[in-house]
Amino acid sequence: MNGTVRELNYLKKEMNAVILAHVYQQPEIHDIADFVGDSLDLSRKAFQVKADIIVFCGVYFMAEIAAILNPNKKVLIPDINANCPMADMITVEKLREFKSQCKNPVVVAYVNTSAAVKAESDICCTSSNAVDIVKSIKSGREIIFIPDRNLGSYVQKKSGMEMQIWNGFCPTHNNFILPEYILKARKERPYAEVLVHPECRPEVISLTDHIMSTGIMCRYVKESSAKEFIIGTENGILYKLKKDNPNKNFYPASPLAICPNMKKNTLAKVKDVLINMKNLISVPDNIREKAYHPVLKMLRITQRQKGFK
Q: In the complex, which residues of this chain contact ligand 13P (CB under 6 A)? A: 38-39, 112, 126-127, 170, 199, 213-214, 234
Which is closer to ligand 13P, CB of 38 or CB of 79?
38
3 state DSSP class of 244: helix
Q: How far is CA 103 from CA 98, 99, 137, 140, 283, in A?
A: 11, 8, 15, 9, 30
DSSP letters spanning 223-243: H-S-SEEEEES-TTHHHHHHH
Which is closer to ligand SF4, CB of 126 or CB of 136?
126
What is the DSSP-derived secondary structure letter of residue 280?
B
Minimum CB separation of residue 170 from ligand 13P in Å reads 5
Which is closer to ligand 13P, CB of 56 or CB of 74?
56
- Angle of the 214-223 helix axis to the 237-244 helix axis, nearest 10: 30
Minimum CB separation of residue 16 from ligand 13P in Å reads 26
Which is closer to ligand SF4, CB of 73 or CB of 173?
173
Residue 127 found at the interface with ligand SF4 (CB under 6 A):
no
Choose the contact partner of 39 out of ligand 13P, ligand SF4, none; CB within 5 to 8 A by kind: ligand 13P
Residue 172 found at the interface with ligand SF4 (CB under 6 A):
yes
Residue 113 found at the interface with ligand SF4 (CB under 6 A):
no
Choose the contact partner of 132 out of ligand SF4, ligand 13P, none; CB within 5 to 8 A by kind: none
- One of 19, 33, 86, 270 touching ligand SF4 (CB under 6 A): 86
The rounded distance, in Å, linking the Cα atoms of 215 and 212 is: 8
